């Protein structure tokens, strides 16, 4: 039996890290395989050898993947689609492979070449939906999600993912707007992190007005602004200046101090950290805060080296785990390379 591959979307340039990660995690779940990818193409195909990719979608939590923005099981690869009628052959393939689907997402690699397909996808989607309806493929709540991953207007992967074990946005990218009052674009990193790591239904309780937070390395205040706009009071720790728009919220106290030295006089609800420092040093700082009970939750960025980035992330997370495990605490720990990250990843830790 031919085993269909798993398609993982990632940031261009991180294909090797994504491939190393899925190969390692799949092996830990008893699924051997190999990856097909090329530099800067923005996706990886993992070819399983012992079990279908559907088994990984069921058994491997998507949240464990750091470098994959989105994943799905390939059902078919359609090439040389006719220029004048692409919709009908795609609809016929979908009807044969997935007669019921929860939602339809048209996706493409997040590369300069891939982005040229965005206009085509927007115009093509209505015709495709009509063709799917005519072919008898129907939307059904609770069914798998249907992905059409386009490499060109004539080359498409038909794929599927479980809505409860994949990214909740097409291409794994939340569409965020830069707030005019925020002092830097780094504000979008924390906004995305809070959406990724804190379920929407839990945000009113876990990010409630009046909660207290500390922002280490806060200048000029992009992350502090995100917390303040949610009503949290923030101690912004940085020797540099804070933007006037941040201080004008009335919810921020600016302390000129070293973020690696500062400790709050009493525990806070959140600690966030986006310092440009050695990632192992940041990981040690996060682990110490959690182990000492100084915060309930933390969001932090790890600036990655040029090489062995997958291993660097593992080493950093292991450093945090050792410190918190020694304290005998229950906790959760996640890490993702977010859309608004560049040569970095964003982690989240929470005491349970």
pLDDT tens figures, 15-54:
999 999 999 999 999 999 999 999 999 999 999 997 778 8
Integer Cα distance of 166 and 241 in angstroms? 40
* 253 close to 235: Cβ distance less than 8 angstroms: yes
Q: Which has more confidence, 55 or 163?
A: 163
Percent of the chain residues topping a pLDDT of 70 = 99
Per-residue pLDDT at 52: 78
Per-residue pLDDT at 50: 79
Catalytic one among 115, 205, 303, 307? 303
Upper half-sphere CA count for residue 84 (Cβ side, 13 Å): 0
Instruction: Give the CATH class of 6-172.
Output: alpha beta
Integer Cα distance of 11 and 16 in angstroms? 11
- Confidence label for 162 from pLDDT (cuts 50, 70 and 90): very high
Alpha carbon distances (Å) from 12 to 18, 21, 67, 195, 277:
10, 15, 10, 22, 23
pLDDT tens figures, 332-342:
999 999 999 99
- Give the domain ranges of the chain: 6-172, 187-351
What kind and span of H or E run contains 77? strand 70-78
Q: How far is CA 143 from the centre of its chain?
A: 23
17 φ, ψ (degrees, to nearest 5)? -70, -40
Helices then strands, each counted (H, E), the chain = 11, 16
pTM: 0.95
Does residue 219 carry a pLDDT above 70?
A: yes
Q: Which ranges of the chain would DSSP assign to H, the alpha helix?
A: 15-28, 53-59, 87-97, 112-115, 118-135, 187-197, 203-206, 222-229, 244-247, 279-291, 309-326
Mean pLDDT value of segment 168-188: 95
Does residue 188 carry a pLDDT above 50?
A: yes
**Catalytic residue list contains 303:** yes
Helix, strand, or coil (residue 9): strand
Q: Which of 13, 113, 6, 106 is nearest to 65 (CA)?
A: 6
pLDDT tens figures, 307-316:
999 999 999 9
326-321-208 Cα angle (round to 5): 105
Instruction: Give the CATH class of 187-351.
Output: alpha beta
pLDDT tens figures, 275-285:
999 999 999 99
Alpha carbon distances (Å) from 97 to 17, 92, 101, 116, 137:
31, 9, 10, 28, 10
Does residue 1 carry a pLDDT above 50?
A: no
Per-residue pLDDT at 3: 83
Mean pLDDT value of segment 128-148: 95
- DSSP conformational letter for 137: -
260 φ, ψ (degrees, to nearest 5)? -80, -15
Per-residue pLDDT at 2: 63
Per-residue pLDDT at 54: 87
Answer whether 6-172 and 187-351 agree in fold: no
Residue 76 burial class via C-beta count within 10 angstroms: exposed 0-12, middle 13-18, buried 19 and up: middle
Mean pLDDT value of segment 74-97: 96
């Amino acid at each position: 039996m031919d085993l269909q591959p798993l398609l993982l979307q990632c940031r261009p340039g991180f294909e090797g890290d994504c491939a190393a990660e899925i190969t390692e995690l799949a092996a830990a779940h008893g699924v051997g395989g190999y990856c097909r990818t090329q530099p800067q193409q923005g996706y990886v195909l993992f070819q399983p050898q012992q079990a279908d990719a559907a088994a990984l979608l069921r058994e491997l939590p998507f949240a464990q993947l750091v470098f994959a923005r989105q994943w799905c099981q390939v059902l078919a690869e359609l090439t040389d689609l006719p220029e004048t009628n692409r919709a009908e052959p795609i609809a016929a393939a979908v009807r044969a492979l997935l007669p019921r689907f929860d939602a339809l997402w048209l996706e493409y690699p997040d590369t300069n070449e891939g982005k040229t397909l965005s206009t085509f996808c927007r115009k093509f989607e209505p015709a495709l939906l009509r063709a799917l309806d005519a072919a008898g493929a129907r939307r059904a709540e609770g069914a798998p999600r249907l992905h059409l991953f386009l490499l060109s207007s004539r080359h498409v992967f038909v794929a599927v993912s479980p809505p409860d074990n994949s990214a909740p946005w097409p291409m794994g990218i939340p569409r965020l707007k830069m707030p005019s009052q925020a002092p830097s674009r780094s504000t979008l990193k924390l906004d995305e992190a809070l959406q990724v790591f804190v379920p929407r239904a839990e945000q009113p309780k876990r990010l409630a007005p009046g909660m207290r937070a500390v922002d280490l390395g806060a200048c000029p205040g992009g992350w502090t602004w995100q917390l303040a706009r949610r009503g949290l009071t923030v101690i912004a720790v940085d020797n540099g200046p804070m933007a006037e728009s941040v201080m004008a919220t009335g919810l921020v106290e600016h302390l000129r101090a070293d973020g690696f030295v500062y400790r709050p006089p009493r525990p806070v609800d959140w600690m966030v950290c986006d310092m440009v420092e050695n990632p192992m040093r940041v990981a040690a700082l996060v682990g110490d805060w959690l182990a000492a009970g100084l915060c309930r939750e933390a969001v932090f960025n790890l600036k990655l080296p040029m090489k062995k980035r997958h291993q660097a992330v593992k080493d950093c997370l292991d450093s945090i785990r050792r410190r918190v495990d020694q304290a005998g605490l229950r906790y959760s720990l996640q890490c993702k390379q977010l859309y608004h990250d560049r040569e970095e990843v964003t982690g989240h830790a929470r005491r349970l």
